[in-house]
Structure 1
Amino acid sequence: MASTRCFLAAALVLTALSLADSFAPASFTPTLAPRAHVSRNNPLSLSPRSRLAAPLRGPLPARIPALLGGMRCKAADGEEWRAEEKVIVVGGGVAGLSCAIQLSQKGIPVTVVEASDGIGGRVRSDIVDGFVLDRGFQIFLTSYPEAQRLLDYNQLSLQPFYAGALVRHNGGFHRVSDPFRHPVDSIFTLLPTHPIGSILDKILVGVLRLQSLVGPLDDLWRRPDEKIDDRLKSDVFFGQGFSEEMIDRFFRPFLGGIFFDNTLRTTARELDFTFRMLALGENCLPEKGLQAVSDYMGGLLPEGSIMLNSPVKAVSADGGGVTLASGEKLAASAVVLATEGNVARELMSTAGVRMGAEGEPKKTTCLYFSIDGDAPTDEPILYLNGDGVYDAENTCKVNNMCFPSLVAPSYAPEGKHLASVSLIGIPEGMGDEDIAQEVKKQLSGWFGEQVDQWELLKVYRIDYCQPNQEPPTDRDEEQEVAPYLFLAGDHTDSASLNGALRSGTRCAKLVSDALVPLLVGRNKRVVDAYAKEQGVDTMQTP
């Protein structure tokens, strides 16, 4: 009898451990895999590592109070039914997948409900005539902490860009490179004839890089919440700022391509974070396109966990389920809205919850062209428009472009190359062919008459490529908006792949805190019922 009671008690404790062990606190610092160098002939490869960090270590008896006592107990009367339902994550982008993976790996059942025909959200790719077209040009930064923690880079076969850019200005291309990775190339940028910034500007770039590396990562988000434009002009080093020429010719197209904001009104905290990531990692493309990131994450979920083509039209006010556009109702133990901010706001209103106003989201237009034969260059590098893009929003003026097939040859069929061109905003009142003709006219001045032979493959008009990040900003916005009703997405964090993944991690922790007491209670009832069948009094001391 004593041994049976010990077994039953152990079963209950192990249930609690299995449900709570691997969730770190929301502000935990992940253990990163060793950094690996990327070269053209050596795609990035990181050693295997644990998927999730375990925050609580030590002997089993010492862990029980921390596991159970540290949880917020929400097992109120009448809520026990939640333990029998799955968590529903609305949205199959990387934020929703991140949250779902970490809940599933905790033993908490999850269903991801996605409105479209595939997972990934803004991290998706299409195959058109044998070309890999990412839905909006994006670069994968290997230094993202959450990406390092959650993804297996071996599976992505990451291919690197040159660490720098060619800036188009006044009829020529001018190289700007990372002096730590390409020191010889960087020497030539110091010549007085180099038009992209003065020697002082180049020194200030080094200062900016050094400042981004100082202190813990989270401290970057406690720095002054000012606009990038203000920071660059007057607040880089003891009141010294960059010249107007450096800002207009380099920073506007470079940062504009990252934040989709040529006016540089984005918070300078994002500038510091981006410079840190650029300093510590490589700029890459997955060999099979960005879809490889989403597909890898989807593969970590149990079979049958994802429902496609299932748009949600309403959410229960108590987080007890959702209603699909088809009218079908799905019960849930909790609901996570992992959609874009504007969609989350609409769905929250169906639950009677009002979210604060969000600034105008960022927009972009991305064009892809097929090139027969050779590309105009053989260098895997980014091209920037240094001839003035301050007023380029919602026009056909090129902001940046590249040839993805020079970075990862698998982006184009054999004998062809792929050109990717990005605009800030969406030109109004113009068809795809009209936009393409205006873009090709500009690029003919860059690369010559061969551009006339480029064939348009596809135009992506993306009206929500990033949430608004103008000050005031809050990286750690509240994600539990009502009991058992949660938010995930880069609009609750920072507008980046890392921010989306991190928001999923934070949300999974909150959902776990809410549900684990209920799940433990359910399993206690199962154990008690079994004990009663066996004639064992679980209240007795062995």
Structure 2
Amino acid sequence: MARTKDSGPYDVVVVGAGAAGLACAGDLCAAGLRVLLVEAGDEVGGRMRTDRVAGFTVDRGFQVFNTAYPQVKRRMELKALRLRPFTPGVLVHTEDGLRRFTDPSRRPRRIRDMLPGRLASGRDLLALSALSARDALAPASVLRHGADGTTRDALAAAGVSPRLVETFFRPFLSGVFLEDRLETSARFFHLVWRSMLRGTLCLPAGGIGAVPAQLASRLPPRVLRTATPVSAVTPGGVTLADGREVPSRTVVVATGQRAAAELLPGLRVPDGRTVTTLYHAAARPPLEEPVLVVDSRRRFLNTCVLTAVQPGFSTDGRALVSTSVLGSAGAADAAAVQRDLGDVYGVDTSGWELVHHVTVADALPAMPGPTPLARTARWAPGRYTCGDHRATASLQGALASGARAARTVLDDLRSGTA
């Protein structure tokens, strides 16, 4: 995007055009302020980016879109994203083969999959029913203000057996939270479980990058500048990497946590979770169903046939299989994962082609329980910050944090304290 000349101070400069920055800038523009949104990358989205590689559509790390998020309902035109859903529930690879874990209320014909003894005992099914009913029906505010601890604590308190925790919850939630010890905040777990019960997990036809692109398309002209990195937040605004000064009454840092800590020295940020996603092309899909598969042995986080969800992700008719693992993965790890996928899917994977390999550092902020689900946007007079690291590790958290920062800026400008 072409740069424009600065003509006097802005009311607000927002640094970072990820989900939080886009939400914040959009709300501030709607309030009538003069806003500049600067993004270091060549496109908006932050970690929500999509690439075209070897004829395939690949996101930067496996991501799903949850229609239940309140901020999504408020901000997104879902029809324009051309969403296609995953099958409700997941397939769990066990010693006895693939077992389905699903919500029978959504797929009554699949109720046999949840019969006692197949994956869970009768006692576990009763405990799960009570847990799910509470989380699905209770107001979100009740869950947000409940007692906190770890997800493992929450499952034990709900009466879920250690066996089902190890067979299903630990493998499944490792891919959600990007940690495999179930140490994530219990309150956040309940909110996530609620969103999964109430919403639908989907993929946009254009990849996850279509979500921030839609948010950016609604900004007024000349608000957004890409390829414009910021080197410092100054008393008078910001300094760009090319040395130019951009004057502004207020500045909102909406970057990831590491960059935020560099621009706002002294800002305390959580650790980040790193994930690697491998994209394989296969002549034939190992599974025709658009469903997430997890492994009870935890050899990887999850896998799915992306082209079973969005056929347009492939241009040559081959299937695209996405598989994620914790941390960084080298060539030896990738080869091992490919062999493990053969075991899980029950097919010969030796002919699969690894078409893409992406490691995302700080893909999610760590949220070990107990932890606050929201942090203040104020950093100093006229200086603010937002992002999922200031809220919850989710798209909902990022958007809500951006909205909170915008409200705080407006309140401070009106009161003269900014």
TM-score bucket of the superposed structures, by smaller chain: over 0.9
Q: Which has the higher strand share?
A: 2
Return closer, same or farther for 1:216/1:447 CA change in 2, 3 Å cut-off.
closer
CA contact (8 A) 2:9 2:247 kept: no
Separation in 2 of the partners of 1:473 and 1:340? 18
Corresponding residue SS for 2:251: strand
Structure 1 residue 197: Cα displacement: 2.1
Equivalent position of 2:3 in the other structure: none
Match of 2:88 in 1: 163
What corresponds to 1:231 in structure 2?
Answer: 154
Pick one of 315, 323, 335 that aligns with 1:421. Answer: 323
Aligned-pair CA distance for 1:267: 0.4
- After superposition, residues 350-361 of structure 1 pair within 5 angstroms as 354-356=266-268, 358-361=269-272
- Counterpart CA distance in 1 for 2:8 and 2:252 is 16
Asked if structure 2 preserves the Cα contact closer than 8 Å seen for 1:100 and 1:112, the reply is yes
CA distance in 1 between partners of 2:402 and 2:8 (Å): 21
Residue 481 (str. 1) matches residue 413 (str. 2): no
Are residues 1:305 and 2:228 paired? no
Runs of 4+ that moved beyond 3 A: none
Contact map agreement 1:141 1:277 (CA 8 A) in 2: yes
1:187 corresponds in structure 2 to 112
Q: How many residue pairs align between the two structures? A: 410
Match of 1:284 among 192, 199, 202: 202
Question: How much does 1:448 deviate?
Answer: 4.1
1:191 shift after superposition: 4.2
Alpha-carbon deviations, 1:453-498, whole Å to 9, x = none? 1111111111101111012311221111111100110111111100
**Quick check: 1:198 aligned with 2:110?**
no
1:383 counterpart = 2:293: yes
Looking at structure 2, the residues matched to 205 and 135 of structure 1 have their Cα atoms a distance apart, in angstroms, of 33
Residues 351-399 of structure 1 deviation map (CA, whole Å, 9 limit, x = unaligned): xxx223x342111111111122x20121111101012x3xxxxxxx312
Task: Say yes or no: does 1:441 pair with 2:339.
Answer: yes
Q: Distance in 1 between matches of 2:359 and 2:178?
A: 13
1:453 has 2:369 as partner = no
| 2:310 partner amino acid | A
For 1:231 and 1:98, the matched residues in 2 are separated by 32
CA drift at 1:83: 9.3
Residue type at the aligned position of 1:337:
V
Are 1:132 and 2:68 matched, yes or no?
Answer: no
Match of 1:142 in 2: 67
Q: 5+ residue gaps in structure 2?
A: 1-6
**2 CA distance for matches of 1:463 and 1:188?**
37
1:400 aligns with 2:302: yes
| Alpha-carbon distance between aligned partners in 2 of 1:95 and 1:298, rounded to the nearest angstrom | 11
- Name the SS of the counterpart of 1:333 in structure 2: strand
Deviation at 1:138, TM superposition (A): 1.2
The aligned residue for residue 94 of structure 1 is: 19
Q: How far 1:254 sits from its partner (Å)?
A: 1.0
Q: Once the 2 structures are TM-superposed, how far is the Cα of residue 187 of structure 1 from its aligned partner? A: 2.4
Q: Secondary structure at the match of 2:23?
A: helix
Give the 3 Å change call, closer, same or farther, for CA 340–377 of structure 1 in structure 2: same
Could you say what secondary structure the match of 2:176 adopts?
Answer: helix
The alignment's TM-score, normalised by the length of structure 2, stands at 0.94
Aligned to 1:258: 176
Letter in 1 for 2:168: F
Distance 1:171 1:332 in 2: 62
Residue pair 1:83, 1:515 contacting (<8 A) in 2 also = no
Letter in 2 for 1:398: F
Change (3 A) 1:215 1:449: closer
Aligned to 1:348: 264
Secondary structure at the aligned position of 1:273 is classed as: helix
Inter-partner Cα distance in structure 1 for 2:144 and 2:62: 26
The question of whether the paired residues in 2 share the 8 Å contact of 1:176 and 1:186 is answered with no
Find the aligned partners of 2:10 and 2:37 in 1 and give their Cα distance: 13
8 Å CA contact 2:286, 2:347 repeated in 1? no
Find the structure with the greater CA-based Rg: 1
The two structures have a TM-score, normalised by structure 1, of 0.73
The answer to whether the 8 A contact 1:104-1:110 is kept is: yes
Separation in 1, partners of 2:251, 2:214: 23
Give the partner amino acid of 1:143: A
Please state whether the residue corresponding to 1:254 is helix, strand or coil: helix
Aligned partner of 1:409 in structure 2 is 311
Q: Given the alignment, which residue of 111, 135, 142 partners 1:212? A: 135
Query: CA 1:419–1:276 in 2, change beyond 3 Å: closer, same or farther?
Result: same
**Preserved contact between residue 83 and residue 333 of structure 1 (Cα < 8 Å):** no
1:256 Cα deviation (Å)? Answer: 0.8
1:453 partner SS: coil
- Matches of 2:102 and 2:342, distance apart in 1: 25
8 A Cα contact 2:16 2:253, kept in partner: yes
Secondary structure of the equivalent of 1:513? Answer: helix
Are 1:364 and 2:364 matched, yes or no?
A: no
AA at the equivalent of 2:57? V
Deviations along 1:297-334, one digit per CA (max 9) or x if unpaired, are 11011222222222212111x4x311122212111121
State the distance in 2 between where 1:332 and 1:486 align. Answer: 13
Q: Which runs of 5+ in 1 are unaligned?
A: 1-81, 390-396, 519-542
Whole-angstrom distance in 2 between the partners of 1:122 and 1:206: 35
How many angstroms apart in 2 are the aligned matches of 1:448 and 1:275? 30
- Measured after TM superposition, the shift of residue 184 of structure 1 is 2.4
Q: Partners of 1:513 and 1:443 in 2: how far apart? A: 53
- Residue 420 of structure 1 aligns to a residue in which SS? strand
- SS state at 2:349 partner: helix
SS at match of 1:121: coil
